[in-house]
Amino acid sequence: MPLPRALLLTASLVLLAACGDQASPGVAATQAPPASSSTLPASPTAAVAEPLEVVLRADGLEVGVGPTAQRLTFGTTPADDVTTALQEALGGAGEAADLPDCGQGPRSAVKVEGLSVLFDGARFVGWTDEGSPERNSTTPEGLGIQSTLADLRSVLPDLQVDTTTLGVEWAAPGDGGLSGLLEGTAATSRVTQLSAGETCFMR
């Protein structure tokens, strides 16, 4: 006996609803997996140490800036401490030399990245900067290698400039102050060497 049309229609709707509750395999395959809280480890990279700033001072040197800066003062900072500070700051072992023929008596020196420090036994007595591409050291007033004669005069108004067997020398007034060499005597001539404290040059 054939089923009534209404009953057939109801059965079809129930069957369709049951099919709609099943997950489609195609859709399930394209769903993104849940996000994970774990992260991949970062690729290891070699740490590159940045050279510390070296400030050129009339009474010695200063390594670093701010409250952690280290002052290396003539006459009070031991030679070993000065050498270690420069090696760590500039990243080089340096070159040591004995200087038995200095006019003021035998001295020794260590040169790191163009910056030489002079010792009288275990005493730090002077420095000489010839410059280096690896750094740009200056005095607190901004004077350094490649400063001009005009720059020097703006900071040191009583500057003395003379031509000697070493070349064009300049010096701040007073004993033990800043001194050095220039490439010429014009206002635009550049500083090629900067020193403070004792020096040991053969004239």
Calpha distance 68→189 (Å, rounded) = 36
Return mean pLDDT, the chain.
79
Calpha distance 144→6 (Å, rounded) = 103
Question: What is the rounded average pLDDT of the residues 8-21?
Answer: 39
Question: Could you say which DSSP state residue 135 is in?
Answer: B
pLDDT tens digits along 47-75: 334 567 999 999 999 998 788 899 999 99
Are 145 and 152 within 8 A, CB to CB?
no
Domain boundaries, the chain: 54-197
Are 101 and 201 within 8 A, CB to CB?
no
pLDDT at 174 over 80: no
- Residue 65 confidence (pLDDT): 78
